[in-house]
Amino acid sequence: MRLRNVKYAKELIHSYPDYVVLKPKNHKGKWRDLFENKKPIQVEIGCGKGKFIYESGLYNPEKNFIGIEKFDSVIVRALEKLILEPLDNVKLIRFDATHINDIFKENEVEHLYLNFSDPWPKLRHSKRRLTSPQFLEKYHHILKDGAIIDMKTDNYALFEYSLMMFNQSDYFAIIDVSLDLYKDLPATNIQTEFEMKFVEENNAIYYIKAQHKG
């Protein structure tokens, strides 16, 4: 990424604090106040360029959506979507979800989406996988009882690993699995940027739905 682009991203992010929440820790336990409503909070970790979180907000006005992405240079693309066509039920956070417990309180999140997360294939990086036991423990603290985690991936190794981690966890029960989501695609499915590319290439999309046991 060229320096000029990084500067552009940073400047744009700081110009739209209504869309990109600059101090997310200040809103821990108070996200609904920020949205100025009582609608349930849905979170996507690793929202990338924001197609999924934007369209989720567009088609589900009865819910609030928060997209978390760790890179300015990527989240700026999600911000551009909101600038072009504003939505008052979508907010973005430029943040590393490793510290997600610093920004959400117990029972604050009702639905978590993990879409095409980085697979981190090396064993020494396994803690960074968004379905590692370390992350599942963090999610346990912020999700309501009965909350759902929806995970889609094109990576079989990450899918298999995630099945094992959910299965071994005391906090989650797997309630649905697909080895080919597009064989029986739910009408409510919203494609992500990565998903569009993988579907075009005829890659299978693996899917896990897990429920928080509380």
Residues lying near ligand SAM in the complex (CB under 6 A) = 45-48, 68-71, 74, 96-98, 115-118, 192-195
CB of 115 to ligand SAM, least distance (A): 4
1/173 with CB nearer ligand SAM: 1
Q: How far is CA 16 from the centre of its chain?
A: 21
Based on the residue annotation, tell me whether 118 is a catalytic residue of this protein. yes
Q: Which of these is catalytic: 118, 145, 154, 170? A: 118
Residues 34, 37, 40, 45: what is their CA dihedral angle, to the nearest 10 degrees?
Answer: -20
CB of 36 to ligand SAM, least distance (A): 26
169/192 with CB nearer ligand SAM: 192
CB of 157 to ligand SAM, least distance (A): 14
Rounded CA-CA distance 94/62 in Å is 24
Name the residue type at position 47: C
80/146 with CB nearer ligand SAM: 80
7/125 with CB nearer ligand SAM: 125
* Cβ-proximal residues to 36 (8 Å cutoff; 6+ apart), any chain: none
159/194 with CB nearer ligand SAM: 194
CB of 69 to ligand SAM, least distance (A): 5
Residue 65, phi-psi category: left (phi > 0), alpha (psi -120 to 50), beta (remainder): beta
Nearest residue to ligand SAM, scored by beta-carbon proximity: 46
Nearest to 83 by CA among 2, 28, 24, 11: 11
CB of 45 to ligand SAM, least distance (A): 6
Query: Which residues belong to the active site?
Result: 118
